Amino acid sequence: MAPSTTSVTSTGDVTIGQAAAFAGVTVKTVRHYHQQGLLHEPPRDSSGYRRYGSADLLRLVQVRTLAAAGVPLAEIKPLLNADPDRFAAALVDVERRLTERITELTARRDTLRQLADGDRVLLPDRALAVLDRLTDLGFAPDYVAGQREALVLARALAPELFDLLLIQLGHRLADPEFADLTKRGWAARSWDPDDPRIDELASALADNLLANRELLAPPTDYRPGPDAATRYGLINHHLEDQTSTAWTRLNALVETKLRAAGVPIPYQ
């Protein structure tokens, strides 16, 4: 067998670079192990270099192996000093935590895969059916996109009202007059905010909603929290600052008329 070309001292000791290479880690990792108290710092030779013997390399390999297996560095030192029974029990606990971590990461991976399927990770099928209905009725894509975002917000900010909201939308979309008025309202974004047609449209929308007043009533057991008005505004006034003053005024007029009729709409 050809002699090794690796340069070591006559005692078999090696430099930190050689120790790192033999153990399959970096010099930075070896130094980090020193800082964590996992690896004894050997004395320096006459040239000022630390020299690592076989016992040091054995310890380094043990630390590296446990770290690579997922054992936290803070737990490695007690493990290396433990008796066989404690060592085995500790490894079982580490395995349990790793399994939990794997389960969590798998769930995250599945969520990322669902994101590739669009809204299905954010909204349930019954909400997607409402959005599909809007498209089937000929609502503009940007209106449908805005409603999609509002539903995502509603599910997150008012989960206790989300199912009721979907039921209300389902009933209203079955009313051709409501669909027509809503489309006209979306088209009104291009109007001048002082256009008298906005007042007329607001009255027509309010009257249509009040004709089915039962759909405007919250659940009997619903108790709004102190931030209910803020949550309502984030959902029902979503994108107002990105649309137009006319659209904002139309919404405000409709809300005013509904409040005047006794509908409990929060003030912003």
Last residue of a domain, one of 80, 108, 135: 80
Q: Is 6 a domain residue?
A: no
Both 141 and 237 in a single domain? yes
Both 152 and 195 in a single domain? yes
Digit-coded pLDDT (tens) for 100-116? 888 888 877 766 655 54
Both 70 and 128 in a single domain? no
| Domains held by the chain: number | 3
Both 137 and 251 in a single domain? yes
Confidence of residue 177 (pLDDT cuts 50, 70, 90): very high
Both 176 and 230 in a single domain? yes
Answer whether 0.75 is exceeded by the pTM.
no
Both 26 and 148 in a single domain? no
Both 138 and 71 in a single domain? no
Listed range (131-140, 179-188, 212-221, 253-262) with the worst mean pLDDT: 212-221
**Residue 100 is part of which domain span?**
82-121
**Is pLDDT above 50 for 7?**
no
Both 136 and 51 in a single domain? no
Both 178 and 229 in a single domain? yes
Both 117 and 176 in a single domain? no
Q: Is 141 a domain residue?
A: yes
Both 116 and 51 in a single domain? no
Q: Is 190 a domain residue?
A: yes
Q: Is 59 a domain residue?
A: yes
Both 64 and 183 in a single domain? no
The full 3-state SS of the chain, as one line of letters, equals CCCCCCCCCCCCCECHHHHHHHHCCCHHHHHHHHHCCCCCCCCECCCCCECECHHHHHHHHHHHHHHHCCCCHHHHHHHHCCCHHHHHHHHHHHHHHHHHHHHHHHHHHHHHHHHCCHHHHCCCHHHHHHHHHHHHCCCCHHHHHHHHHHHHHHHHHCHHHHHHHHHHHHHHHCCHHHHHHHHHHHHHHHCCCCCHHHHHHHHHHHHHHHCCHHHHCCCCCCCCCCCHHHHHHHHHCCCHHHCCHHHHHHHHHHHHHHHHCCCCCCCC
Q: What is the rounded distance in angstroms from the CA atom of residue 255 to the CA atom of residue 210?
A: 11
Last residue of a domain, one of 49, 64, 80: 80
Digit-coded pLDDT (tens) for 189-241? 999 999 999 999 999 999 999 998 888 877 777 787 888 888 888 888 887 77
**Closest alpha carbon to 246 in 179, 201, 180, 181:** 201
Q: Diameter of the chain by CA atoms? A: 100
Confidence of residue 16 (pLDDT cuts 50, 70, 90): very high
Confidence of residue 182 (pLDDT cuts 50, 70, 90): very high
